[in-house]
């Protein structure tokens, strides 16, 4: 399977903009999708045009924008809302206003956007944005929860912060990066929620084993692969607990909707994984855990002259082996093996030696793969001998391909 955005036929996303100052954020979403080769069409409500002009989104999407004026004055052979509804494989409404939310909930259609929603069958991603008091109104919350009972609709809950009205509270539209990630997920899955009912426990990132407060043994693992696995699983309906090592702020911002447990050392990760193991159906050990730690740690910084010429080392817990021993028969355990050179033989050895159900081998000595980057490649191996090679792609695409394969695998 190739990366979703690299296939010959461009993917098709229809983006609807309703009234709200958050409309300015959507410009970067439109621009990013267009640059990636996605065919983007934009439909603005009359209220949406008050915040962003059609010319702006037309320029960013490389295609004329659609408005109610276009709708009512259309002269083409087929109604515009029918053409758009059949064309789109994903519909995104951002920002979603209280007014448009109410119309969608009750099946009302009095403009181009709402008519197009009713004339389509594709998944719909909703990103609400409004004042806190508006969002918290019982009628709005009732509409929101009622609409989400329809499997077509996928949600990006509003966040908290300073709003355009200077109020601090819930109502901020999801950030462009979050919208883009969810868009890519829905293009992969077609809106399937095939992980509903599963609780996934995932580890990610590196651990740090400190000699003193400023020096530690570690590795370059960023945590991006595990976060991509967690995001893809959440978008497919799973409940996810993510145990992660130290993350930078940009990665922490990607943890919305995920139960995140931050740790630093291998011993802390060991405790956290065992604590959350009983609730998990699948356990994915994607973290790059240190193998050893300094035999002694000091609480104050060592002077350079006091650093030992030879550093005595001690073993850290073998987390994945311990998980394999303590798991229940129904639980599935998937490991990762970051390797240089031959990635298959060491991964197969680890698969058998650790008692895993499957392992993901990925090269860290190949350009565009491994630690720190946004792309990766891998080979999935199962204990029954199945083998799936996944060519270079985004880490989110790799995550979805792994979930696809694991859902079909016989363990």
Angle at 42 between CA 36 and CA 166, to 5 degrees: 95
27 catalytic? Reply is: no
In order of 61, 201, 215, 295, 299, the CA distances from 310 in angstroms are 60, 38, 15, 11, 19
Closest among 25, 115, 15, 9 to 65, alpha carbons compared = 15
Catalytic member of 27, 122, 165, 393: 165
In order of 203, 299, 321, 335, 390, the CA distances from 348 in angstroms are 20, 40, 15, 11, 17
174 CB contacts (<8 Å, ≥6 apart)?
94, 127, 156, 157, 158, 159, 182, 256
CA dihedral 137→142→143→146, nearest 10 degrees, is: 160
For residues 112 and 17, give the distance between their C-alpha atoms in angstroms, rounded to a whole number: 11
- Which sequence positions are flagged as catalytic? 165
């Amino acid at each position: 399977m190739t990366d979703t955005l690299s296939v010959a036929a461009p993917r098709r996303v229809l983006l609807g903009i309703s009234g709200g100052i958050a409309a300015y954020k959507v410009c970067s979403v439109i621009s990013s999708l267009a640059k990636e080769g996605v065919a983007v069409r934009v439909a603005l409500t009359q209220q949406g045009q008050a915040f962003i002009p059609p010319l702006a989104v037309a320029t960013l999407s490389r295609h004329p924008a659609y408005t109610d004026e276009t709708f009512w004055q259309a002269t083409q052979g087929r109604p515009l809302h029918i053409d758009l509804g059949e064309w789109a494989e994903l519909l995104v409404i951002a920002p979603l206003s209280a007014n448009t939310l109410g119309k969608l909930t009750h099946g009302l259609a009095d403009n181009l956007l709402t008519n197009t929603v009713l004339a389509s069958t594709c998944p719909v991603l909703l990103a609400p944005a409004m004042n806190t008091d508006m969002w918290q109104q019982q009628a709005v919350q009732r509409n929101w929860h009622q609409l989400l009972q329809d499997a077509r609709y996928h949600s990006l809950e509003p966040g908290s912060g300073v709003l355009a009205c200077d109020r601090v509270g819930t109502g901020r539209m999801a950030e462009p990066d979050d919208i883009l990630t969810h868009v890519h997920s829905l293009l992969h899955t077609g809106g399937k929620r095939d992980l509903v009912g599963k609780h996934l426990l995932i580890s990610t990132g590196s651990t740090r084993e400190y000699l003193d407060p400023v020096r530690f043994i570690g590795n370059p693992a960023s945590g991006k692969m595990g976060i991509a696995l967690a995001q893809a699983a959440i978008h497919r309906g799973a409940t996810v607990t993510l145990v992660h090592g130290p993350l930078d702020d940009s990665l922490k911002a990607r943890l919305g909707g995920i139960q995140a447990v931050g740790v630093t050392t291998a011993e802390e990760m060991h405790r956290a994984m065992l604590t959350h193991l009983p609730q998990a159906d699948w356990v994915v050990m994607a973290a790059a855990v240190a193998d050893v730690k300094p035999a002694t740690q000091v609480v104050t910084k060592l002077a350079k002259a006091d650093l030992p010429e030879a550093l005595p080392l001690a073993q850290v817990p073998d987390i994945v082996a311990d998980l394999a021993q303590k798991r229940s028969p129904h639980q599935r355990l998937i490991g990762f093996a970051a390797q240089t050179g031959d990635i298959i033989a060491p991964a197969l050895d680890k698969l058998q030696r650790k008692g895993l159900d499957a392992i993901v081998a990925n090269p860290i000595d190949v350009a565009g793969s491994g630690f720190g980057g946004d792309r990766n490649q891998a080979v999935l191996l199962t204990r029954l001998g199945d083998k799936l090679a996944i060519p270079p792609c985004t880490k989110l695409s790799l995550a979805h391909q792994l979930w696809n394969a694991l859902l079909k695998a016989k363990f």
